[in-house]
Structures are given as C-alpha cells and as structure tokens.
Amino acid sequence: MFKLVIPTLLASTALVSAANACETTLRSSDTHPDGYPTVVAVERMGEMLEERSEGRLCIEVFHSAQLGEEKDTIEQTQFGVIDMNRVSLGPFNNIIEETQVPSLPYIFRSVEHMHKVMDGPVGQQILDAFGDHDLVGLAFYDGGSRSFYNSEKPITSMADMEGMKFRVMQSDMFVDMVSALGANATPMPYGEVYSGIQTGVIDGAENNWPSYDSSGHFEVAKYYTMDEHLIVPEVLVMSRTAFDGLSAEDQELVRQAAKDSVPVMRELWAAREAESEAKVREAGVEIVTDIDKTPFIEAMVPVYEKYVTSPVLQQMVQDIQATE
C-alpha cells in the first residue's frame, strides 16, 4: 500500500513543478480542433520554446475556438488580451492591406509557388506590415487550396454557381470574388457555417480538405468542386504588448521557434490533406475534378482591379508573378 502511494506522489510533484517552471505562459488561439496541423505546430513551437528558454517561456494553445471566432480573437490579440493567434490571412484583409495580395484568387500557381513567395522578401514585407497594427508577424503556415462545396448540386462550370449562396471569410475581397463568379456571398464566422448550410441559410462555402473534413461540412454539403480559387496562407501572430513584455533574448527565441515550427507544420499539413481527402471520398462526397479554371481566372480581373490599387500592392503582385 505504502509502496504504491510513493510513486504517485512523486509523479504528481514532478508534474506540478514542470507546470510552475514557466515564468510566462503565452496563450495562443486557434479555431481548429485538437490534433489539427496548425494546433499541433504551435504546440511543438511551445515545446521548443520551453526547452530553449530553460522553462522561462511556454505556450498554451486554446484550440476549437475556445477564445472566440477569428475576427474577434484578432481584435483581442491587438488589444493584448490574447498573446498569440494562428489565423487565416483572410480575416486580416480588411485591416492590413498587404495581406490582400497573397489572398488574391489564383495569385499562386501552386503550393510550391506560395512557399517560395512567403519564404522570401514578399513574405517578409507582409510579416512586417503586422507591426503597424499592434501585432508581430511571426510565421506563415499552410492552408492548402480552397475550393467551393455545396449541398445542392455538382458544380461543373462557373454558370452552375449563378445565384447560389456561399459563405466566405469576413473579407470584402472574398465577397467581391464570389460576386464576380455570379454567386452571392455571405461573410460569416467559421463556427456558424455548419448550421448555416444545414438550415439552408447558405448553399455552401469554400475551404481546403482538412477544414472541410474537421468542421464536418462534408456531412451537410457533399458536392465539392476542385476549382482551387485560393491558396491563402495562414499566419501566426503575436500581440505587440506581449512581445514587448519579453527581453530581447526571449523575443529572439520566440521568433526562431516560430520559424522552426514551419517545416513541422508543412509536413503535418501534407499528411493531413491526403488523409482528409481520402476520408471525405470514403464518406461519399461527390468531387468534380475536371473543372475548366480558365473562366474562373478571367472572372477575377475586376477583383484585382478593385483591390490592387496602390503602387506597393501592384509591385507585390508583380514580384509574386515574377517568382519562379
């Protein structure tokens, strides 16, 4: 009896002291569930940080939108209520104009092209832009390519989208993107999409394989068309207040650990994409793969004209297009 008690006590003491060892625990938000690549990548970053800071710095990830929907958590991160946030660039479009450029439909030729651009000077320019908005841009993560899905019918051409209602992220540019395709856009928080489709408030939405899978949207919207209109990266940001509260040495550790979490994320992402695609196929989703993207690409000209207006953004678009 006595022998059994001792190891239990020792084990729990060790746990308590490990938790107490962190002088600062950064609270990080994510809309995705536990185990999703973005969530795991930030957790890995936290492990690196804890080890490299010898326990001074830890990260606690609040997954599953526990801290709120993206638009709200972004504001809270700007106010310093939330320390870190992993979000799509989409909900930043209305606040930071540079984030519109990698969110433009069909701007990237492939995921490899996106990586090349975001790992280079244009990516750095975008990370720097967060600095003017009470945030620190730390790293970009993958978000695959996004395509339309709906509960009504297989979409085999742009004409099929006429008059249909699609949810988009809360970005004016995405509203215009859907309008340019002849459909109607409803911006709404991610967490409301499932019931929106179920109740018929919207006909569908658009997303990548892992989100289509983990959100359960495939259960209520079984027609998926691989038009791949967006390859919009995701971003990991930190609140300026939280960042400024760290020593220069710890700030550098945070920046480095964020960078080091990127290859981890990319590997997790690639595996999850394949897994999710297989899962939804298995579940009986009807997938249109042979869609002609040319009319979709041509329909985006007015969107580019409306949003790529300043010389800075025009230069960014040119730089992206010139990236091999």
- For ligand BDP, how many residues bind (rule: CB under 6 A)? 11
Window of 39-47, 105-113, 206-214, 236-244 that interacts with ligand BDP by CB under 6 A: 206-214
- 40-49 exposure pattern, b = at least 16 Cβ within 10 A, e = fewer: bbbbbbbebb
Please select the residue that binds ligand BDP; options are 88, 99, 214, 225, rule is CB under 6 A. Answer: 88
Residue 207 makes contact with ligand BDP by CB under 6 A: yes
The residue (of 52 and 270) whose beta carbon lies closer to ligand BDP is 270
Residues in the chain: 324
Closest distance to ligand BDP from the beta carbon of 170 (Å): 8
- State how far the Cα of 77 lies from the Cα of 84, in Å rounded to an integer: 7
The residue (of 53 and 88) whose beta carbon lies closer to ligand BDP is 88
| Phi, then psi, of 152 in degrees rounded to 5 | -95, -55
Window of 11-19, 178-186, 205-213, 252-260 that interacts with ligand BDP by CB under 6 A: 205-213
Q: Within a 13 Å sphere around the CA of 199, how many CA atoms are in the beta-carbon half?
A: 6
Residue 85 makes contact with ligand BDP by CB under 6 A: no
The residue (of 103 and 207) whose beta carbon lies closer to ligand BDP is 207
Residue 87 makes contact with ligand BDP by CB under 6 A: yes
Take residue 73 and report the two structure tokens written for it: 């958590």
Residue 73 makes contact with ligand BDP by CB under 6 A: no
- State how far the Cα of 240 lies from the Cα of 132, in Å rounded to an integer: 10
CB 238 within 8 A of CB 78: no
Residue 211 makes contact with ligand BDP by CB under 6 A: yes
Closest distance to ligand BDP from the beta carbon of 141 (Å): 8
Rounded to the nearest 5 degrees, what angle is found at the Cα of 59, between the Cα atoms of 102 and 125? 25
Residue 29 makes contact with ligand BDP by CB under 6 A: no
3-state secondary structure (DSSP) of residue 203 = coil
Window of 21-29, 203-211, 221-229, 287-295 that interacts with ligand BDP by CB under 6 A: 203-211
Q: What single string gives the DSSP state of each residue in 118-171? A: HTSHHHHHHHHHGGGGTEEEEEEE----EEEEESS----SGGGGTT-EEEE-S-
Site for ligand BDP in 31-70 (CB under 6 A): 31, 70
90 Cβ contact list (under 8 Å, min separation 6): 103, 168, 169, 170, 171, 174, 232
Sign of the Cα pseudo-torsion (14, 254, 39, 275, in order): negative
Per-residue binding string, ligand BDP, 168-197, x by CB under 6 A, is: -x--------------------x-------
Per-residue binding string, ligand BDP, 231-270, x by CB under 6 A, is: ---x------------------------------------
Please select the residue that binds ligand BDP; options are 37, 105, 137, 143, rule is CB under 6 A. Answer: 143
Residue 84 makes contact with ligand BDP by CB under 6 A: no
Kindly calculate the radius of gyration of the chain based on its CA atoms and give it in whole angstroms. Answer: 21
Interacting residues with ligand BDP (CB under 6 A)? 31, 70, 87-88, 143, 169, 190, 207-208, 211, 234
